[in-house]
Homo-oligomer: A and B are copies of this chain.
Amino acid sequence: MNSFPNVRIVLIETTHPGNIGASARAMKNMGFASLYLVSPRQFPHEKAIWRAASADDLVKQAVVCSSVEEAIKDCRLVIGTSARERRIPVPLLNPRTCGERVVAEARVGHEIAVLFGRESRGMKNEELQLCHYHVNIPTSEAYSSLNLAMAVQIICYEILCAGLIGDTPLQTTTQVEDKDTHGWDMPLATAEEVGYFFEHMEQTLEAIGFHDPANPRQLMTRLRRLFNRIRPDQMEISILRGILSAVDQLRADNPERNAEEMEER
């Protein structure tokens, strides 16, 4: 499946064929299929196939070009990855804004290229000057040299994420997808059901001598806060009340013992 048929990844003078394969896998994992190779050092090569795993089709179908110009000639948006600040800066994107721009332009049908330079020296100035934008992947200052395929992975990941968002604004994805909103397997308990559970718990804890209403020491306050934080579902409330009933039964079978005794001990 090619989710981005009009977005190509262009690798320039890649030295290690393993990096070509790993880049192909990263691309296919994120829904990309179109790989261009500008003057690769060693290609075709078995290491590229091996590192590609199930993305070997991308490697076999890669378009090999002899210049960057040839690789991008039909493109309307060209973005170059660059680790360094350039003397004459061009508009700079971060991976996230790069993803958003690629998706926005892909949706209107533009052919788009994202360029990745050599493992050792990145992109040359004259290559960067062919680009509408530069994109800079943030790194630690202590060790900023990303593996080539890792850079491809991050850029493709950000394009995929931007694509998943659809036309809605980006900040909506930051919502935590948790049980309160999506995909839980049981309905949440109602406030009433939780209320009954608290009553039951208080009675049981008093009966076994753990809770003394005359000297409550925040116990029930803390337990209420704890269980309200969970927002239990109905199955969970049912399990918890089952446990309380088992304890009640244990006590009922032992009538000579009572809370006062417990306290004296």
Enumerate chain A interface residues (CB-CB to B < 8 A).
1, 3, 22, 25-26, 28-31, 53-55, 85, 87-89, 91-97, 100-101, 137-147, 149-150, 153-154, 157, 160-161, 164, 170-179, 182-185, 205, 208-210, 219, 222-223, 226-227, 229-232, 235-236, 239, 242-243, 246-247, 249-251, 253-254, 257, 262
Inter-chain contact A210/B172, CB cutoff 8 Å: no
Q: In the complex the two chains form, is B1's CB within 8 Å of A141's CB? A: yes
| Given A1-B140, A143-B54, A219-B239, also A26-B177 (CB < 8 A) | no
Contact residue among B94, B179, B236 (Cβ-Cβ distance under 8 Å from A177): B94
Contact across chains for B177 and A142 when beta carbons are under 8 A apart: no
Task: State the copy count for this chain.
Answer: 2
Minimum CB–CB distance from A58 to chain B (whole Å) comes to 10
A29 adjacent to B239 (CB under 8 Å): no
Shortest A231–chain B CB gap in Å is: 8
Inter-chain contacts of A242 with B (CB < 8 A): 210
Q: How far is the CB of A29 from chain B (nearest CB, A)?
A: 5
With contact pairs A176-B93, A179-B91 given, residues A140 and B28 touching in the complex (Cβ less than 8 Å): yes
Tell me, rounded to whole Å, the shortest Cβ–Cβ distance linking A26 to chain B. 6
Residues of B within 8 A of A161 (CB): 96, 138
> What are 5 A-to-B residue pairs whose CB atoms are below 8 Å?
A22-B147, A25-B150, A29-B145, A94-B177, A172-B175
* Minimum distance in angstroms from A259 CB to a CB of chain B: 10
Question: Which chain B positions have C-beta within 8 A of A22?
Answer: 147
- Inter-chain contacts of A53 with B (CB < 8 A): 145, 147
Beta-carbon contact of A93 and B177 below 8 Å: yes
Q: Chain B: which residue is nearest A51 at the CB level?
A: B147
Which B residues are in CB contact (< 8 Å) with A100? 174
Q: Judging by beta carbons under 8 Å apart, are A92 and B183 in contact?
A: yes
Contact B262–A1 (Cβ < 8 Å): no
Does B210 lie within 8 Å of A223, measured CB to CB?
no
In the bound complex, how far is the Cα of B105 from the Cα of A198, in angstroms? Answer: 30
Interface centre among A31, A153, A231 (most CB of B within 10 A): A153
**Are A89 and B140 neighbours in the complex by a CB distance under 8 Å?**
no
Contact among B153, B175, B185 with A89 in the assembled complex (CB-CB below 8 Å)? B185
Q: In the complex, what residues of B have CB within 8 A of residue A239's CB? A: 219, 222-223
Cβ contact of A173, chosen from B25, B85, B94, B149, cutoff 8 A: B94
Give every chain B residue within 8 A of A183 (Cβ-Cβ): 85, 89, 92
> Is A1 a contact partner of B89 (Cβ separation < 8 A)?
no
A246 and B210 in contact (CB under 8 A), knowing A140-B3, A145-B54?
yes
- Closest B residue to A257 using CB positions: B253
